[in-house]
Amino acid sequence: MFKVASIQLGIGEEDKSRRIERVELLLDQAKGANLVILPEIWNIGYFSFDLYSKESETVNGETARRMSQKAKEHGFYLHSGSFVEEENGKLFNTSLLFSPDGKLIARYRKIHLFGYGSQESQLLSRGSEVVVVETPLCKIGMCTCYDLRFPELFRIMLNKGAEIFLVTSGWPYPRLEHWLMFNRIRAIENSVYLISSNCAGKNRGTQFCGHSMMVDPWGTIVASAGDEECILQAEIDIEKVSSVRSEFPAVKDRVL
C-alpha cells in the first residue's frame, strides 16, 4: 500500500511566480504521500497561449528546479504536471517525474496536441516517445489530457508494463461527461489504476471542469473531486492490479 495525492489546482490570472509559490504550499500539505501529481500547464494556465513562448522553460528551469526541491524536501515521487518546454527552438507540452531524492527520472512530451478551440497544436511540437518508468512503488505510465481520447497510447503503455496511468490535465467544460467516462474506461480496459489531476478555476475565460479522480483496476472510483481547488488523497494497493488481471484475464486474452 502507498499513499497518492492529486492536487487539483485552481487556475486564475495570477502571475507565474505567485502560482509556483502557491503550489509549493499545497505540496507542503501533501506531505506524507508517496506519490503526488499536479495538473497540466498549471504555472501559466493552459489557455494562456500568448504566454507560451515568453514563459517557456527548459527542464532545468525555475519550475522544474523548485518541483525537484519539493520532491526531495518531502521525500515523495512528484509528477510535476506539465509546462511549456523549450528545446532547440521548439516548444513542447512536457511533464516531468521526480524521485524522492529530487532526481529527474522521466520526461514525457504530450503526443496528441489539442486543436479544437485551442492553439496548442499550432504553437507546440508533439512528442513521440511513450513513457513508462519503473519505480519501487510501481510501473508508472505518463500521459496528458487529450491523450485520454486515444486508447492506442494506453495499450502501448500497458505493453510496457504500466500498472498506474498518471494523467495531468487542463480539461474544460462543457465536456465533463467525456472526462468522467475516459478516466474510468482507460482503467477498466487495461486493468490498471488511473490517477488524474485536472485544473479547476477559469483561465482566459474558459472554465476547467475539475473532477480529478483515482480509479482502481475494476473501474471503481476510489476518490474523486468536485470543481473547486482541493487535494485528493487515497491509498493504493498495487497488488490489486495483478489480482484483477488474474481473476478477470481480459488483458491476457487480447489478440490484437
> Which residues are annotated as catalytic?
40, 110, 145
| Residue 110 three-state SS | coil
Q: Which of 204, 207, 206 is CA-nearest to residue 50?
A: 204
User: Phi and psi (nearest 5°) for 6?
Assistant: -115, 120
The separation between CA 27 and the C-alpha centre of its own chain, rounded to angstroms, equals: 15
Contacts of 14 (CB under 8 A, 6+ apart): 22
How many alpha carbons fall within 13 Å on the CB side of residue 187? 25
| Residue 11 three-state SS | strand
Distance CA(47)–CA(135), nearest Å, equals 33
Distance CA(255)–CA(174), nearest Å, equals 36
DSSP assignments along 111-165, one per residue? SS---TT-SHHHH-PPP----EEE-SS-EEEEEEGGGGG-HHHHHHHHHTT-SEE
